[in-house]
Amino acid sequence: MNWKKTIVQVLWLLLGVGAIVLFGAAMIQKNHKVLADIKVEITGADEHLFIDEKDVKDLINEHSNLVNKKVNQIDLKAIETELEKTPWVKNAELFFDNNQVLQVRIEERQPVGRVFTATSSSFYVDSSGVRLPLSDKLSARVPMFTNFPSDKEVMASSDSELLKGVVDIGKFITADSFWRAQIEQVYITPQGTFELTPTVGNQTIVFGDGEDVERKFNNLYTFYKKAWLQNGINTYSKLDVRFENQVVGVKRGAEISVADTAKANAAIQALMIGKATMSTKATMPAKDSSSTSKEKGKNNLKSSLTQNNKKRSNPFSIVKKSSPLKNN
């Protein structure tokens, strides 16, 4: 009985050795085959491609001419390292498939803001806080931050903290269709705080530092829904969202035009309703400053906001002042 068991064990051993030999031979044969092709896949950026397939192939061939090269002669790790030196490449992974095709997986960096410094230089910043150069291909549709105090690669701790605020605000705006349309510019004050300039409405929005970004925007959005539907979008010259559960509004003088207010109200309502339909790319109806159109816009606004923005409906108090505020 023991001899039968021994024979079975020997047969299995020989079978295993044979499989290893065949596998090794197959690998040797594969490694001596010539590269068949290069396939590139780029992910990471939702709307922008600052680097394309041709750029990637050019970078690979610049580092290592792969024409007629055997698979075992190609240093994939070295090529990955070279690709990741490109500012717009966040991560690169390379491997060969069974057909000797080089598969290149590129993760592109996602810009969340364009920063203009006090010396008029400009750069993009991505979601990780990495500074990115401008591109000759296209201009990213991201929030614009002006008056950043430094254009140095190595920044002081205060400037690094300020850049973190830029990233957090930029990420929130780019992720929300309403705020992408509504925030025209973010000004950085000499005190290192932020002031927002809206697309619709003629007022300054005092944002404060880069902390509690979501809370501040949610409070501002609730103010838009409640106060401006009642009082008009251009009633206030300044809105301050720095405080925990309130928005402080400074009223404008009586010289404001009723017609301008009606047009501005219609515009902000269109933006809000557009937030609910942005995913389907629906075309908004023409704005009308008449009272009938205004009432219809109010009803549509209330209906769409109730269905699509429940998370924003946190109650808070609205404080109105008739005299200008002093920034902290």
Res. 122: pLDDT tops 70: yes
What is the domain class of 37-108 according to CATH?
Answer: alpha beta
Distances in whole angstroms, Cα of residue 291 to Cα of each of 44, 119, 255: 46, 47, 21
Beta carbons of 77 and 68 less than 8 angstroms apart: no
Res. 28: pLDDT tops 60: no
Beta carbons of 321 and 251 less than 8 angstroms apart: yes
The number of angstroms, rounded, from the C-alpha of 36 to the middle of its chain's C-alpha atoms is 36
What pLDDT digit, counting tens, does each position of 97-108 carry? Answer: 989 999 999 999
Contacting residues for 308 by C-beta, under 8 A, at least 6 apart:
275, 276
Beta pairing class for 111-117 and 122-126: antiparallel
Token pair of 239 as six digits:
């809105």
Four-CA torsion 172, 203, 262, 312, nearest 10 degrees: 30
DSSP type of residue 282: P
Beta carbons of 301 and 272 less than 8 angstroms apart: yes
HSE-up (13 A, CA, CB side) for residue 76:
16
Res. 32: pLDDT tops 80: no
Q: Smallest Cα–Cα separation from 66: which of 36, 27, 30, 28? A: 36
Mean pLDDT of all residues belonging to the chain? 77
What pLDDT digit, counting tens, does each position of 243-259 carry? Answer: 988 889 888 764 444 44
Type of residue at 236: Y
What pLDDT digit, counting tens, does each position of 210-221 carry? Answer: 999 999 999 999
By mean pLDDT, which of 123-127, 141-145, 318-322 is the weakest? Answer: 318-322
What pLDDT digit, counting tens, does each position of 135-170 carry? Answer: 888 888 899 999 999 888 888 888 999 999 999 999
Residue 139: its pLDDT value, please? 85
Residues 69, 193: Cα–Cα separation, whole Å? 56
Beta carbons of 196 and 183 less than 8 angstroms apart: yes
Type of residue at 197: T
Element containing residue 117 per DSSP (H, E): strand 111-117
Q: Where in the chain is the domain with CATH 3.10.20.310?
A: 37-108
Token pair of 214 as six digits:
């979501």
- Confidence class for position 299, pLDDT limits 50, 70, 90: very low
Residue 14: its pLDDT value, please? 61
Residues 216, 96: Cα–Cα separation, whole Å? 49
